Structure 1
Amino acid sequence: MTTHQQTKPEEATFEEIQDLIHQKDRIVPLIDVRDPNETDLGVIPTAHSIPLSKLHDALTTLSEQEFEQQYGFKRFGKDDEVIFYCRSGRRSRLAFGQAQELGYSHVRHYPGSWNEWSVRFQSTA
């Protein structure tokens, strides 16, 4: 799942997220770092949920198998592109920082997050 593309900006746009969810062979995981009570209200299609409070442990203490059992997808590698989002962009930036500190070199975040997605998606649907 490693992507060796030119370095992309740390912030993903609405248009990039929209393109990403329509790719049949998705190679860039979209990670929702909101709490379960928030994700119950809706998520961006194709996203996986890892609450911010569990992100550090998910990336450092769980084995590959434990990660997949707990989160339902294969853990991304340190050289894989990954995009985090939350409700308004604050926690996605924190997740971005945590992942970078752990050596994940191609992480990004979507600053508009759920607030922007839910409004703009409605207007394009």
Structure 2
Amino acid sequence: MPSFSSLTIPALYVQTSRQFAPRSMAAIRQAQFSSRASNPKSEIVTFEEIDTLVRNKDKNVVLIDVREAGEVAQGVIPTSHHIPLANIQEALSLPDKEFEDRFGFHKPAKNDEIVLYCRSGRRSGMAFELAKSLGYNGVRNYSGSWLDYESKTKGK
């Protein structure tokens, strides 16, 4: 006859995982729904939004490229400004006048819409987290970044 633990433990484990998994997924969905309801704009920006921003030259959105200078020299999304990831935390902490003198554009306010991008979305994700930690509530991340933009606009 099999031991007590070989029969009972797996049965409890299976029952427990079935029992709690749906509740966990429901909680996750509820949290996602609540997050969307309180923040109507997603923190992730799509190519379509970037394309509209560029075509309309929307001055209400600050587009920031966080790549290194050598990468920026290969091409940029029109209307964007450049602040390398290594400088983003310091830049967003500077006084307004010093920021403008150093980077050549007005420092965004904490509630302004800011869209960050890099080459593939990894560094802009890091910059997004840094900006959020500094209190920038309107910050968003173009997760497709330069590679997505370039592939969708080639030949246009």
Same fold (TM over 0.5): yes
User: SS state of the match for residue 29, structure 1?
Assistant: strand
Maintained 8 Å contact 2:57/2:79 = no
Q: Are residues 91 and 25 of structure 1, via their aligned partners in 2, closer, same or farther at CA, if it must alter by over 3 Å?
A: closer
Q: How does 1:45-84 map to 2 (within 5 A)?
A: 45-60=78-93, 62-84=94-116
Distance 2:154 2:147 in 1: 11
| Letter of the structure 2 residue corresponding to residue 19 of structure 1 | T
- 1:38–1:24: structure 2 CA closer, same or farther, 3 Å change rule? closer
Structure scoring higher RCO (CA < 8 A, sep ≥ 6) equals: 1
Cα offset for 1:7?
3.0
Per the alignment, do residues 25 and 81 of structure 1 end up closer, same or farther by CA in structure 2, a change over 3 Å counting?
A: closer
Separation in structure 1 between the aligned mates of residue 72 and residue 46 of structure 2, nearest angstrom: 20
- Equivalent position SS for 1:105: coil
Q: TM-score, normalised by structure 2?
A: 0.73
Task: Provide structure 2 residue ranges, at least 5 long, that are not aligned to the other structure.
Answer: 1-38
Q: 1:66 to 1:86 in 2, by over 3 A?
A: same
C-alpha RMSD over aligned residues: 1.1
CA distance in 2, matches of 1:41, 1:31: 16
1:1-125 aligned within 5 A? 7-60=40-93, 62-123=94-155, 125=156
| Bigger radius of gyration among the two | 2
